[in-house]
C-alpha cells in the first residue's frame, strides 16, 4: 500500500533538511577555522612570555618584543622585505600586463607557441634553476644589493602573471578594443586607458599572490641578499632560530611581525582575489 | 558630413579567403545605406574596411573625397556602433559618451555640453551617472548611439546594432535610429542580415552575397525589380515563390507550364522581358505571396492547389500550398544561409485576415499575372529588360 504525502509536509521536510545541512557545513567551517587560526593564537600568546614563563606555561611579559627590536634590526629587515617585494611585483605587473595584452589581443606569428613557452616556465621549480641562476647573478655582481634578488623574484613570478593577464584580456571583447581605436586611441592608449582599469581584479590577484610568495620566501633571500644590511625579515628570523640560544617567545614575536604584512595585504585585496582567481570559469 | 565611396574594393585574408570582391558603391552625404545579406556575405568586412579595422587588399575607399586606405582609424573621423555595444564597463554613461572627445583633448565644458545634447536626443539624461551594467539592453544601445553622436563625425557605421534586442524593442529602436539619422543628416552605413530592417530603415539597400554586391536600390525598387533570383528570394517575408516552368508559345501567346498547371502570360511580357531565347526551354518564374489570392470571378489566371499548412498572423493568413505535383518549385537559395539550394520551399500565398482556408483544403487561386518575375534558369539573372543596368 502506498502512502500519499501532502505537499506541505514535503516542503517542511526539505526545509528542515536544508537547515541541518547548513548547520553541518557551518560547524565544519568553524572547526577548520580553529585549526587554521590555532597556530596564530599560540604565536600570539607565546610571544608575550619570557623564556621562563614559556617553559613554566603561565605568565605574561612584553620582554620578548623588546628583545626582538634590540637584538636584531627588525625594522631594517622589514624595510628590506618591502623594497624587494615592491620592486619585484612592479616588474612582474608591468611585464605581465603588457605581455598578457599582447598575447591576448595582438595577432603575430608563433604567438601561441611563445605563450606556451612562457607559461611552461611556471612548471620549473626554483630549486632546479637555483645554482645556474646564482652563477648568473653572481657573474653580474648582483649578489650584493637588492637587484639580484628582485630580478630572480621577477623572473619566477612573471610566467604566472602573464598567464593570468592573458586569460583576463582574452575575456575582454575585441569590439571594446576596436571601439577604443575608433574613439581615437592607439594600442598603448587602449592598454593603459581601457584594458588596465578593467584588469584591476587580475592586478590585485597577482599582487597578493606574489606578495605572499616573495615576502615569505627564505631561499632566494638567503642566497641572493648576502649583505647583512639588506637581509629580508625571513632571513633575519632564520638567523634568530639558528642561534645557539634560541628564544622561542622572541621567535614567535618575530614570526608574528613577519606574517602580519602578508595577512594585511591578503585581507585588503581579498575581494578582488576571489574574482581574479575564478577568471574564465564563468565564460 | 561626407560622401563615402568604395571603388573596386577587394578584401582577401592571408589564408586566401576572399571576403569582398570588386565592391563599388557610393553613399551620398546624409544617405542611410543598408548593407544586407546572409552570414558571411562580406557586409561586415566592408563596414570594417571603412572604419579602418580591416586593411584593404585592393581598390580605394574614400571619405569626403579623401582616400583613406592608409589613414589610421582614429584619423578617419567616423563613429562606429557595435553589435554588442562595446561600452566601457568602468565608465559611467556620460563618460562613455564623452570619451572620444576627452581623448581628443576637447575642453571639458564642450564635452559636457555635447554629452547633454546627445543625452537629450536619446532620452538618456537621467542615466548619465549610471554604469552600463545598470542599464537595460535598449538603454545600452542608446548609449552606444550617443557615443557616436557626440563625436559629430563625418559618417556613422553600424554593425547589426539591434540584433541583441528582443523583437519589440528592435522595432522601437528601428524607428529611433532612423529618426536620429534623419535629424543629424550624417551619411550612415548600416549592416544587418535582417531584411525587414533593411527595407524599413534604408534610403537605399545594397544586397550582398558571397562577397559580391548583387543590387543597390531603394527598398521598393529592390522588392519590385530584383535583378536576380537571390535578391528575389532574400528580400520579402515570406520570400518570393520561385517556380521552374516550361515556356512555350501557343496561339501567339506565351504559356508557362509546371506540374499540371498552365499560365498564359499577358502580351506585355514580350516587350518588357527577354523571354524569346527561353521559349521551348525552361525559365524560373517568381510570384510574390501577395500576388496569389483566393480566386474570384475576375481572375484570368487560375491555379488549383492544396493547402498544406496555414499560419494565421492576425492581420493576414499565410497558406503554404502544393500543386499535387511539386515538380518545378525551386529550393529557395536565399533562405538557406548555410549554402545555396539546400532547403525546399513551398509556394506560399499571403491571404486576407478573413480568408476561409484550412489545412488539406483544395483551393483555386487567382494569380496576379501583372506582377510576375522571370529569371534565367541557369544564371538566375532577371530576364527583365534593363535589369542588368539597374544592378548598381
Average pLDDT for A88-98? 96
Q: What is the pTM of this model?
A: 0.79
Give the phi and the psi of residue B359 in degrees, each rounded to 5.
Answer: -65, 140
B156–chain A Cβ distance below 8 A for any pair: no
Res B389: pLDDT: 60
pLDDT tops 50 at residue B23: yes
Chain B positions touching A198 (Cβ under 8 A) are 89-90
Pick the more confident residue, A99 or A7.
A99
Among the partner residues A173, A181, A193, nearest to B74 by beta-carbon distance? A181
Average pLDDT for B238-263? 87
β-sheet bridge partners, residue B10: B58
Among the partner residues A182, A185, A197, nearest to B51 by beta-carbon distance? A182
**Spatial CA neighbour of A146 closest among A223, A32, A230:** A230
Q: How confident is the model at residue A72 (pLDDT cuts 50, 70, 90)?
A: confident
Q: How confident is the model at residue B337 (pLDDT cuts 50, 70, 90)?
A: very low
pLDDT tops 70 at residue B388: no
> Which range is most confident: A35-44, B276-285, B327-336?
A35-44
> What is the 3 state secondary structure string of chain A?
CCCCCCHHHHHHHHHHHHHHHHHHHHHHHHHHHHHHHHHHHHHHHHHCCCHHHHHHCCCCCCHHHHHHHHHCCHHHHHHHHHHHHHHHHHHHHHHHHHHHHHHHHCCCCCHHHHHHHHHHHHHCCHHHHHHHHHHHHHHCCCCCCHHHHHHHHHHHHHHHHHHHHHHHHHHCCHHHHHHHHHCCCCHHHHHHHHHHHHCHHHHHHHHHHHHHHHHHCCHHHHHHCCCHHHCCHHHHHHHHHCCCCCCHHHHHHHHHHHHHHHHHHHHHHHHHHHHHHCCCCCC
Tally A–B CB contacts below 8 A. 50
Average pLDDT for B281-307? 85
Q: How far apart are CA B365 and CA B294, in angstroms?
A: 4
Average pLDDT for B26-43? 93
Res A243: pLDDT: 67
Provide the 3-class DSSP secondary structure of residue B121: helix
Chain B positions touching A179 (Cβ under 8 A) are 80, 82, 86, 88, 147
Pick the more confident residue, A70 or A214.
A214
Mutate to test the interface with A, among B90, B97, B106, B143 (most CBs of A within 10 A): B90
Res B344: pLDDT: 47
pLDDT tops 50 at residue A280: no
Res B327: pLDDT: 54
Q: How confident is the model at residue A245 (pLDDT cuts 50, 70, 90)?
A: low
Average pLDDT for B290-315? 86
Q: How far apart are CA B34 and CA B171, in angstroms?
A: 16
B79–chain A Cβ distance below 8 A for any pair: yes
Q: How far apart are CA B224 and CA B308, in angstroms?
A: 27
Res A4: pLDDT: 60
Chain A, nearest residue to B103 by Cα: A184
Average pLDDT for B79-87? 91
β-sheet bridge partners, residue B245: B283
Is the Cβ pair B89, A173 closer than 8 Å?
A: no
Cα separation values, B294 from B224, B329, B373, Å: 22, 20, 20
Provide the 3-class DSSP secondary structure of residue B58: strand
CA dihedral B383, B387, B388, B389 (to 10 degrees): 150
Is the Cβ pair A178, B104 closer than 8 Å?
A: no
Res B322: pLDDT: 84
Among the partner residues A173, A175, A183, nearest to B99 by beta-carbon distance? A183
Res B243: pLDDT: 87
CA dihedral A72, A78, A81, A87 (to 10 degrees): -140
Chain A, nearest residue to B82 by Cα: A175
pLDDT tops 80 at residue B391: no
Question: Of A162-176, A201-215, B144-158, B378-392, which range is least confident?
Answer: B378-392
Q: What percent of chain B has pLDDT over 70?
A: 92
pLDDT tops 60 at residue B333: no
Among the partner residues B83, B84, B103, nearest to A185 by beta-carbon distance? B103
Rounded to the nearest integer, the mean pLDDT of chain B is: 87
Mutate to test the interface with B, among A179, A186, A188, A196 (most CBs of B within 10 A): A179
Res B183: pLDDT: 87
Res B339: pLDDT: 40
Average pLDDT for B227-246? 90
Is the Cβ pair B99, A175 closer than 8 Å?
A: no
What are the pLDDT digits (tens) for A249-277?
888 998 888 888 888 888 888 777 766 66
pLDDT tops 70 at residue A136: yes
Chain B positions touching A182 (Cβ under 8 A) are 51, 53, 73-74, 78-80, 100
> What is the set of domains in chain B, with CATH numbers?
4-232 (3.40.50.300), 238-391 (2.40.50.140)
ipTM above 0.95, yes or no: no
Q: How confident is the model at residue A281 (pLDDT cuts 50, 70, 90)?
A: very low
Res B267: pLDDT: 85
Q: What's the gap in Å between the CA of A77 and the closest CA on chain B? A: 39
Query: What DSSP element (H or E) covers B352?
Result: strand B347-352
pLDDT tops 60 at residue B133: yes
What are the pLDDT digits (tens) for A146-157?
999 999 999 999
Amino acid at each position: 500500500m502506498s502512502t500519499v504525502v501532502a505537499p506541505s509536509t514535503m516542503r517542511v521536510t526539505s526545509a528542515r533538511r536544508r537547515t541541518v545541512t547548513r548547520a553541518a557545513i557551518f560547524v565544519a567551517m568553524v572547526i577548520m577555522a580553529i585549526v587554521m587560526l590555532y597556530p596564530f593564537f599560540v604565536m600570539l600568546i607565546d610571544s608575550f612570555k619570557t623564556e621562563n614563563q614559556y617553559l613554566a606555561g603561565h605568565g605574561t611579559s612584553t620582554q620578548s618584543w623588546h628583545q626582538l627590536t634590540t637584538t636584531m634590526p627588525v625594522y631594517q629587515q622589514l624595510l628590506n622585505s618591502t623594497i624587494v617585494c615592491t620592486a619585484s611585483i612592479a616588474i612582474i605587473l608591468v611585464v605581465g600586463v603588457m605581455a598578457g595584452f599582447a598575447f591576448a589581443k595582438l595577432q603575430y606569428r608563433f604567438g601561441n607557441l611563445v605563450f606556451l613557452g612562457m607559461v611552461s616556465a611556471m612548471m620549473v621549480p626554483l630549486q632546479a634553476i637555483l645554482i645556474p641562476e646564482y652563477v648568473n647573478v653572481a657573474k653580474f655582481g648582483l649578489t650584493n644589493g637588492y637587484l639580484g634578488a628582485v630580478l630572480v623574484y621577477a623572473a619566477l613570478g612573471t610566467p604566472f602573471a602573464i598567464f593570468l593577464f592573458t586569460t583576463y584580456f582574452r575575456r575582454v571583447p575585441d569590439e571594446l578594443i576596436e571601439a577604443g581605436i575608433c574613439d581615437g586611441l592607439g594600442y598603448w592608449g587602449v592598454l593603459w586607458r581601457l584594458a588596465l582599469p578593467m584588469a584591476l581584479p587580475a592586478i590585485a590577484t597577482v599582487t597578493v599572490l606574489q606578495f605572499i610568495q616573495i615576502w615569505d620566501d627564505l631561499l632566494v633571500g638567503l642566497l641572493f641578499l648576502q649583505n647583512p644590511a639588506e637581509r629580508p625579515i625571513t632571513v633575519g628570523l632564520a638567523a634568530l632560530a639558528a642561534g645557539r640560544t634560541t628564544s622561542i617567545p622572541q621567535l614567535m614575536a618575530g614570526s608574528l611581525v613577519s606574517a602580519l604584512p602578508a595577512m594585511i595585504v591578503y585581507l585588503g585585496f581579498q575581494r578582488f582575489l576571489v574574482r581574479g582567481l575564478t577568471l574564465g570559469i564563468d565564460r | 558630413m561626407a560622401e563615402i565611396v568604395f571603388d573596386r574594393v577587394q578584401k582577401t585574408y592571408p589564408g586566401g579567403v576572399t571576403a569582398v570582391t570588386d565592391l563599388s558603391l557610393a553613399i551620398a552625404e546624409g544617405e542611410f545605406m543598408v548593407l544586407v545579406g546572409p552570414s558571411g556575405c562580406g557586409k561586415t568586412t566592408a563596414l570594417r574596411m571603412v572604419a579602418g579595422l580591416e586593411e584593404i587588399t585592393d581598390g580605394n575607399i574614400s571619405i569626403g573625397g579623401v582616400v583613406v586606405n592608409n589613414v589610421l582609424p582614429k584619423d578617419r573621423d567616423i563613429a562606429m556602433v557595435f553589435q554588442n555595444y562595446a561600452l566601457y564597463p568602468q565608465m559611467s554613461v556620460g563618460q562613455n559618451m564623452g570619451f572620444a572627445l576627452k581623448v581628443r583633448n576637447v575642453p571639458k565644458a564642450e564635452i559636457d555640453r555635447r554629452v547633454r545634447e546627445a543625452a537629450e536626443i536619446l532620452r538618456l539624461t537621467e542615466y548619465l551617472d549610471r554604469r552600463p551594467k545598470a542599464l537595460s539592453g535598449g538603454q545600452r544601445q542608446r548609449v552606444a548611439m550617443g557615443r557616436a553622436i557626440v563625436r559629430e563625425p563625418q559618417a556613422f557605421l553600424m554593425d547589426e546594432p539591434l540584433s541583441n534586442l528582443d523583437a519589440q524593442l528592435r522595432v522601437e529602436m528601428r524607428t529611433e535610429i532612423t529618426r536620429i539619422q534623419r535629424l543629424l543628416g550624417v551619411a550612415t552605413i548600416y549592416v544587418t542580415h535582417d531584411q525587414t530592417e533593411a527595407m524599413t530603415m534604408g534610403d537605399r539597400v545594397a544586397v550582398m552575397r558571397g562577397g559580391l554586391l548583387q543590387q543597390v536600390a531603394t527598398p521598393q525598387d529592390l522588392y519590385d525589380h530584383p535583378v536576380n533570383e537571390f535578391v528575389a528570394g532574400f528580400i520579402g517575408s515570406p520570400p518570393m515563390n520561385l517556380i521552374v516552368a516550361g515556356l512555350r508559345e501557343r496561339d501567339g501567346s506565351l504559356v508557362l507550364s509546371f506540374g499540371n498547371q498552365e499560365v498564359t502570360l499577358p502580351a506585355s511580357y514580350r516587350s518588357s522581358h527577354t523571354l524569346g531565347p527561353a521559349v521551348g526551354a525552361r525559365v524560373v518564374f517568381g510570384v510574390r505571396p501577395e500576388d496569389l489570392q483566393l480566386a474570384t470571378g475576375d481572375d484570368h489566371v487560375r491555379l488549383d492547389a492544396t493547402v498544406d499548412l496555414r499560419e494565421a498572423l492576425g492581420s493576414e493568413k499565410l497558406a503554404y500550398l502544393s500543386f499535387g505535383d511539386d515538380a518545378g518549385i525551386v529550393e529557395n537559395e536565399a533562405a538557406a544561409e548555410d549554402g545555396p539550394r539546400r532547403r525546399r520551399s513551398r509556394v506560399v500565398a499571403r491571404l486576407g485576415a478573413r480568408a476561409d482556408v484550412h489545412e488539406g483544403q483544395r483551393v483555386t487561386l487567382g494569380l496576379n499575372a501583372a506582377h510576375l518575375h522571370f529569371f534565367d534558369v541557369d544564371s538566375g539573372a532577371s530576364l527583365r529588360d534593363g535589369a542588368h543596368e539597374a544592378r548598381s
